[in-house]
């Protein structure tokens, strides 16, 4: 396994529309190695999610966390060629998002609170499930990467875009969503 180099804001690979992965290639050695390396890279940088273009591979593959199983253990899903359907367009969830490709910064982004996801998993099976709350935000952030979209594109109020330290010092006010210390 290897820790991969993470592409940072400004690298063109982050602005590409990524290619779909052929379902028959999912169980092949290249994709399986990419998945293992992405897990290792994400753990190294304390990410809650990671998209393949962030490690210079412009293919439609993400790992997305932010969810827990019934016993409270964190769940990370591998999704290939994911498709998102928004379930609650009027209920939006705002939080300070961060990104391993935009290190040291945070920005306030609001997204739909509930989504449905259809994709292939790492075993080459088709899966479909619903997500809400933080896990739905992480999933949307990761899937945006596959279309060359970064969270910074979705910040509406640029006064709420800041370095980590300043964000936690000056931008938190009572009643807002808890500051998210994790990076996607
Ligand atoms: Zn990101």
Ligand 1: centre distance to CA 40 (Å): 16
Ligand 1: centre distance to CA 9 (Å): 10
Is 142 among the residues known to form the active site?
yes
Q: How many CB atoms lie within 10 A of CB 130?
A: 12
pLDDT confidence of residue 182: 63
> Residues 131-166: pLDDT tens digits?
999 999 999 999 999 999 999 999 999 999 999 999
List the domains of the chain with CATH numbers. 12-171 (3.90.45.10)
pLDDT confidence of residue 179: 43
CA gap 100, 55 in Å, rounded: 10
pLDDT confidence of residue 184: 74
Ligand 1: centre distance to CA 66 (Å): 13
Ligand 1: centre distance to CA 148 (Å): 10
Instruction: Select which of 40, 83, 91, 142 is catalytic.
Output: 142
Positions in the chain whose pLDDT score sits under 70: 172-182
Residue among 113, 103, 114, 94 nearest 154 (CA): 94
Q: Is the pTM of this model over 0.85?
A: yes
């Amino acid at each position: 396994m290897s820790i991969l180099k993470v592409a940072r804001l400004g690298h063109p690979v982050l602005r590409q529309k990524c290619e779909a992965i052929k379902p028959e290639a999912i169980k092949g050695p290249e994709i399986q190695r990419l998945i293992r390396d992405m897990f290792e890279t994400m753990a190294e940088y304390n990410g809650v999610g990671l998209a393949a273009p962030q490690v210079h591979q412009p293919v439609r593959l993400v790992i997305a966390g932010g969810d827990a199983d019934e016993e409270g253990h964190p769940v990370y899903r591998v999704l290939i060629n994911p498709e998102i359907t928004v379930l609650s367009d009027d209920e939006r969830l705002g939080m300070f998002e961060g990104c391993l490709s935009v290190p040291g910064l945070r920005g306030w982004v609001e997204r739909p609170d509930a989504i449905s996801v259809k994709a292939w998993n790492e075993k080459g099976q088709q899966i479909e499930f619903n997500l809400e709350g933080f896990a739905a935000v992480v999933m949307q952030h990761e899937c945006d990467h596959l279309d060359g979209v970064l969270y910074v594109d979705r910040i509406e109020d640029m006064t709420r875009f800041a370095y980590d330290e300043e964000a936690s010092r000056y931008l938190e006010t009572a009643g807002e969503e808890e500051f998210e210390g994790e990076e996607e």
